[in-house]
Amino acid sequence: KDCYVFFGYSAPGLYDLQPTPVGDKYPGVEVHATMLDNLLSRAFLRDAPRPLAAAVVVALSALAGIAGILSRRPWQSVLGFLVFPVVPFGL
């Protein structure tokens, strides 16, 4: 009563291993169990606060500017200018 039961297998030879963002391979039944646990505990992904995101973008842009000034090769400064500010959007 008042329980959740998942039936599944986790043997590597049965090929029920799924890729996850935090690991290479994870048993499929455990993916479903983790999803239920996250739903029940209301542990959802949340956006970072806007001031924090803005601070990260400004800091990375400043690093890109410093790297561009200190760089001796023009292509490195252009690459740094393009890569550093977009890093927070990929996190």
Res 91 pLDDT > 60: no
- pTM of the predicted protein model: 0.49
Q: What is the mean pLDDT of residues 66-78?
A: 74
d(CA 62, CA 28) in angstroms, rounded, equals 43
pLDDT the model gives residue 31: 83
Contact 84, 59 (CB under 8 A): no
